[in-house]
Amino acid sequence: MDKLIPDPPETSTPLADAIRAEDRIKNHEAIKRALDFYLCPEPSKPRRPSTMFMVCPNIDTESLLAHACESLASASAATSNFANELSGLQRNTALGIQQIIMLAELAVNRALDRVDPQT
């Protein structure tokens, strides 16, 4: 089917062409930044532990577990002694903390038994 009225001729000026070209470049850059952000994220820097309190990286698991078990036993004894000096709600809170420490100590002991089972 033929159109009775033809499309008006496109009149382009050098200024309009430059603006369109500039818009295309800006759009292309924005699209590239958005795609790079989601598809090519910057690799995260490897985590460097603080050297203020650093555990020797070459220490074996059994030694770490033994030390954790001893630390938990000391914390449990200190909390128990502290709870004996308190009364009422404060004593209950301290004994609850001691119970949590004892449960952690039991878990560490179980892990230690799995690392080096005693025969």
Q: Rounded distance, CA 105 to CA 111, Å?
A: 10
**Predicted confidence (pLDDT) at residue 103 exceeds the cutoff of 90:** yes
Residue bearing the bigger pLDDT, 115 or 10: 115
Q: Are 74 and 42 a contacting pair, CB within 8 Å?
A: no
Q: Rounded distance, CA 79 to CA 16, Å?
A: 79
Ramachandran area for residue 42 (φ above 0: left; ψ -120 to 50: alpha; else beta): beta
Residue 79 is predicted with a pLDDT of 94
Residue 68 is predicted with a pLDDT of 92
pTM: 0.52
| pLDDT, tens digit, 9 for 90 and up, residues 24-36 | 888 889 988 888 8
Q: Rounded distance, CA 13 to CA 25, Å?
A: 18
What is the number of residues in the chain? 119
| pLDDT, tens digit, 9 for 90 and up, residues 55-94 | 787 888 888 899 999 999 999 999 999 999 999 999 999 9
Residue 9 is predicted with a pLDDT of 66
Q: Which residues are within 8 A (CB) of 62 and not within 5 positions of it... i.e. 6 or more apart?
A: 112, 115, 116
Q: Which residues are within 8 A (CB) of 104 and not within 5 positions of it... i.e. 6 or more apart?
A: 72
